[in-house]
Amino acid sequence: MAIRPLLSRTLGLTQTLTHSHSHSHTLTQLRGLQTFSLPDLSYDYGALEPAISGEIMQLHHQKHHQAYITNYNKALEQLEDALAKGDSSSVVKLQSAIKFNGGGHINHSVFWKNLTPVSEGGGEPPHGSLGWAIDTNFGSMEALVQKISAEGAALQGSGWVWLGLDKVSKKLVVDTTANQDPLVTKGANLVPLLGIDVWEHAYYLQYKNVRPDYLKNIWKVINWKYASHVYEKECP
Amino acid sequence: MVVAVAAAAASSTWLTCALLPRQGWLHGIQEPTPGLQWTNKKRCCTRKAGLTITAKLELKPPPYPLNALEPHMSQETLEYHWGKHHRGYVDNLNKQIIGTELDEMPLEDIIITTYNKGDILPPFNNAAQIWNHDFFWESMKPGGGGKPFGELLQLIERDFGSFEKFVEEFRSAASTQFGSGWAWLAYKANRLDVGNAENPRPSDEDKKLVVVKSPNAVNPLVWDYSPLLTIDVWEHAYYLDFQIRRPDYISIFMEKLVSWEAVSSRLEIAKAQATEREEEEKRKQGEKEVGNSDNEAVKMYVDSKSDDSEAE
């Protein structure tokens, strides 16, 4: 069922620490530098069909997400080197690669948990406190879905559309980020409950240029249980 | 502005118009009618072809059939990329500009106006993407690739060291444009790299070829460069054929698709425009100096007059 994570690179030292964070990526601790590896999906690639094709899921997970992780690890290694040498030029130059690839890793790690097969409750609207908060903040579930879909469709170029929680004000927000910027770049107190990838690679093989159809169908496999879980943790 | 053309004969004149980069901002100072020179050229072209300008932009087809770039760029890609994406930008821009002052403006003027010095207005994305895609189709040809020739090759070797080094830089720009965007070869005429600074000692060597990359819909027209070649690195440009393998797409583009003839003719036009602009600036400078000495003459006359009145 689940795909085994690709083995982290070992750079000589023996200590391997594998544990699941709230983000559930596996970390390997070597000489103080943590490297990252591809997290498992908790469902088969084909399990989200017909909303998202198995072909897309496999490419998206095994190629795109893996590439972000590989490049993130590489950039972190280079950063560690530059920091040790006090090479400020290189430290600054590496920031965009770290933001882009690190952001890609963060965002996709959330995304896989935002999706689940229909058989596992995909598409079932949230009950409990999140459902109530959605009605309070947006009027209704339908209004929220429409808002997220509209903002996702209108996003120019590549990026993400988010349902976020401001953990200080406890308000729900809908926002977008460009490229691989994580939601936190839009507000330090923002926690992502739900993110939808609107990069073309997320839908093109199946939906081609018709991003609105992708956004219409993805709701059938959205994992509201995960979103509720994150919400309840911040708003007990 | 793209006008619907049935006759093939008119299309070559029209093609030349489409390749003309605009000129407008001089040294960062705004001209009151930024599009004037370009507009005149455009009207000139369409009059010669016996066409009337319509407000509605039309989708221009690539200069080859949709299957002509196979197997390097599939027909399916062209059908979606041109038939859906490019067409969508045209349809959407028409909806956005109808009844506004942007309506009836040439496309390049719409682009510069809505770029709004970086504070981008909504029609920019559609307008620039129309221009970018026209430019992209014309940057390729069936049986393309190989090496540039003549003056273009000379300038490439002068400004990059070698053709191979240019290719390396172009590939790197195209690969490292994070997210959506474009990579360009452009001709940069006589500009320092600092904002509004005027080059006090201009020389021919200041005019040079550069490789630049841009995000989303942005193109070098907004920086006042003359684009010569572009590659689209939005995922929709290569995903059906190459999926994640953008570097392979870039290689195929360089090896099998680039139309160096198109690049050469754009370079010729860009150089001619740069020269014309220099001469225009010299003329304006000359007029300004004459104007200053006139003012002084008037001043002296007024002073002597007041002396007379006091005497009285």
What's the distance, Cα to Cα, between the start and end of chain A in Å? 33
Contacts of B244 in chain A (CB under 8 A): 59, 63-64, 67, 201
To the nearest whole Å, the CA of A201 is away from the closest chain B CA by 7
Q: Give the C-alpha separation, B86 to B221, whole Å.
A: 19
Interface touch A157/B215, C-beta < 8 Å: yes
- The distance of B146 to chain A (nearest Cα, Å) reads 30
Q: Long-range contacts: A227-230, Cβ < 8 Å, 24+? A: A227/A114, A227/A126, A227/A130, A227/A163, A227/A193, A227/A194, A228/A126, A228/A127, A228/A128, A228/A129, A228/A130, A228/A131, A230/A165, A230/A191, A230/A192, A230/A193
Q: What's the ipTM?
A: 0.87
Q: Is A201 annotated as a binding residue?
A: yes
pLDDT given at position A4: 46
Identify the residue with better confidence: A19 or B135: B135
From the list A96, A157, A209, which residue is nearest B85 (CB)? A209
C-beta atoms of B80 and A159 within 8 A = no
Strands A159-166 and B226-232 turn out to be: unpaired
Task: For residues A15-33, give the mean pLDDT.
Answer: 50
| Contact list, A67 vs chain B (CB under 8 Å) | 244
Is position A181 annotated in a ligand binding site?
A: no
Of the candidates A100, A180, A204, the beta carbon closest to that of B236 is on A204
| Rounded-to-integer distance, Cα A221 and Cα A223, Å | 6
Nearest CA in chain A to B81: A209
Question: What is the tens place of the pLDDT at every residue in B125-143?
Answer: 999 999 999 999 999 999 9
Q: Which residue of A has its CA nearest to B240?
A: A205
Q: Which residues of chain B have pLDDT under 50?
A: 1-49, 52-53, 304, 306-307, 309-312
Query: Mean per-residue pLDDT for A51-55?
Result: 98
Among candidate residues A58, A41, A70, the one with its CA nearest the CA of residue A202: A58
Each residue's pLDDT tens digit, B19-78: 444 443 333 333 333 333 333 333 333 333 455 445 589 999 999 999 999 999 999 999
Instruction: Determine whether the interchain pair B244/A205 forms a contact, defined as Cβ–Cβ distance below 8 Å.
Output: no
pLDDT at B300: 54
Buried b (16+ CB within 10 A) or exposed e, A115-134: bbbeeeebeeebeeebeebb
Contact B71/B257 with Cβ under 8 angstroms? no
> From the list A100, A159, A200, which residue is nearest B234 (CB)?
A200
| Of residues A171, A191, A194, the one with CA closest to residue A183 | A191
Residue A21 is labelled as binding a ligand: no
Tokens describing residue B239: 């995903």
User: How close are the terminal C-alpha atoms of chain B, in Å?
Assistant: 66
Instruction: Answer yes or no: do B236 and A200 touch at CB < 8 A.
Output: yes
Predicted confidence at residue A19, as pLDDT, reads 41
- Residues B143, B116 contacting (CB under 8 angstroms): no
Report long-range pairs for B58-63 (Cβ below 8 Å, ≥24 apart): B58/B2, B58/B3, B58/B4, B58/B90, B59/B2, B59/B86, B59/B87, B59/B90, B60/B2, B60/B18, B60/B134, B62/B137, B62/B138, B62/B140, B63/B15, B63/B137, B63/B138, B63/B141
- What does pLDDT average to over chain A? 90
What integer is the mean pLDDT of A6-12? Answer: 42
Contacts of A180 in chain B (CB under 8 A): 178-179
Residue B4's CB is within 10 A of a number of other CB atoms, namely 11
The pLDDT of residue A176 is 98
B182, B233 Cβ separation under 8 angstroms: yes
Of the partner residues B80, B216, B244, the one whose CB lies closest to the CB of residue A157: B216
Nearest chain B Cα to A96, which residue? B178
The model's pLDDT over A102-124, given as tens digits with 9 standing for 90+, comes to 999 999 999 999 999 999 999 99
Q: Can you tell me the mean pLDDT for A57-71? A: 98
- Those residues of chain B whose CB sits closer than 8 Å to some CB in chain A are 80, 84-85, 88, 125, 178-181, 215-217, 234-236, 239-240, 243-244
Per-residue pLDDT at B28? 38
Contact A130, A193 (CB under 8 A): yes
CB contact under 8 A, B216 and A63: no
- Residue B241 vs residues A80, A205, B246: alpha-carbon distances, Å: 37, 10, 10
Count of other CB atoms within 10 angstroms of residue A21:
10
Compare A18 and B225 and report the one with higher pLDDT. Answer: B225
Convert B12-25 to b/e letters by CB count within 10 Å (16 or more is b).
eebbebbbbbbbbb
Give the neighbor-by-neighbor strand order of the sheet with A159-166.
Answer: A172-178, A159-166, A190-197
Angle at A27 (CA atoms; ends A21, A30), nearest 5 degrees: 145
Query: To the nearest 10°, the Cα dihedral for B105, B110, B112, B113?
Result: 90
Distance from CA of A59 to the nearest CA of B (A): 8
DSSP letter, residue A115: B
What's the confidence (pLDDT) of residue B1?
47
The minimum CA-CA distance between A85 and chain B, rounded to whole Å, is 26
One-letter amino acid for residue B131 of the chain: W
User: Was A23 annotated as part of a binding site?
Assistant: no
